[in-house]
Amino acid sequence: MPKTYSIAIDGPAGAGKSTIARRLAAELGYYYVDTGAIYRTVAYFLDLLGISPKDIDGVSRYIDELTVEIEYDEDGKQHMIMNGMDVTEDIRTQEISQKASLVSAHAIVRDMLLDMQRDVAKRHNVVMDGRDIGSVVLPKATVKIFLTADAEVRAKRRCDELIAKGQKANFEQVLKQIQQRDYQDTHREVAPLKMCRDSVKLDTSELDIDGVLAAMKTIIAEKIPL
Ligand code: DC
């Protein structure tokens, strides 16, 4: 099998990972893998069954009834398929964000999803974003970047996104949710969000998307011929 390149982008909620990773993948001709969407799909499945994401007994009992698949359409957009059903849009709510953060703390859930993430990177050049890509999923990733920004800046960006989608946004509430997710994602026992020793940290608080992309390309060019 020919060697594949992998770019791991980790960081807290709202740091701009998905926007940047998607653009980067399109420019490089790589697959974009949004791993948060996989955890969101699990959260959505349990939600439909009325199971709390904290209820480890319930999660363990029903998780085997779930199949999660990633598909790509002709535009390269990632679709999440839950038991044969496309749930790509259904998983993008604030409620599912919180539930995904809680459900992702269970080892049984993380173990089940590990191979599917690694498989994509084995077969294709990827830009993969998440919380544990550099630390657990792809410890030998060609490039590891830790993307972050101040919580207030991230909350403001999330509000702008919600408003652009025609949804309501309350800054204080969004900020609280972001801080709560930061806490949960960094304090869980299994694969917590943390910066790896071989990651390059990029703070995007003062940068616009083009600025972040330019900075990322400089980091990537040290390892991958662009
Ligand atoms: O990136 P996101 O906001 O779509 O992720 C939703 C939640 O999923 C996040 O709060 C934590 C969890 N997650 C994770 O634990 N590991 C990943 N690689 C990606 C997401």
Cα(222)–Cα(29) distance, rounded to whole angstroms? 18
CA of 100 to the centre of ligand 1 (A): 7
Q: Which atom belonging to ligand 1 lies closest to the Cα atom of 184?
A: 10
79, exposed or middle or buried, with CB in 10 Å at 0-12, 13-18, 19+? middle
CA of 117 to the centre of ligand 1 (A): 13
CB 204, CB 152: distance < 8 Å: no
For ligand 1, say whether the CB of 97 is within 6 Å of any of its atoms: yes
Q: Which atom belonging to ligand 1 lies closest to the Cα atom of 13?
A: 3
Across the beta sheet with 143-148, the strand order is 31-34, 126-130, 6-10, 143-148, 200-203
Which residues of the chain have a pLDDT value below 50? none
Residue nearest to atom 14 of ligand 1 (CA): 131
Cα(218)–Cα(226) distance, rounded to whole angstroms? 10
- Nearest Cα to 200, choosing from 169, 221, 225, 226? 221
For ligand 1, say whether the CB of 110 is within 6 Å of any of its atoms: no
For ligand 1, say whether the CB of 41 is within 6 Å of any of its atoms: no
Tell me the two tokens of residue 108. Answer: 């049984």
Cα(158)–Cα(172) distance, rounded to whole angstroms? 12
Q: What is the pLDDT of residue 178?
A: 96
CA of 58 to the centre of ligand 1 (A): 20
For ligand 1, say whether the CB of 36 is within 6 Å of any of its atoms: yes
Could you give the percent of the chain with pLDDT greater than 90? Answer: 93
Tell me the two tokens of residue 104. Answer: 């992702």
CB 66, CB 49: distance < 8 Å: no
Q: How many C-beta atoms surround the C-beta of residue 111 within 10 A?
A: 10
Q: What is the pLDDT of residue 75?
A: 87
Residue nearest to atom 2 of ligand 1 (CA): 36
For ligand 1, say whether the CB of 185 is within 6 Å of any of its atoms: yes
Q: What is the pLDDT of residue 1?
A: 61
Residue nearest to atom 16 of ligand 1 (CA): 131
What are the CA-CA distances from residue 168 to residues 62, 82, 106, 127, 165 (Å)?
33, 27, 31, 31, 9
Q: Which atom belonging to ligand 1 lies closest to the Cα atom of 117?
A: 18
Q: What is the pLDDT of residue 119?
A: 96
Q: What is the pLDDT of residue 167?
A: 85
What secondary structure letter does DSSP report for 199? P
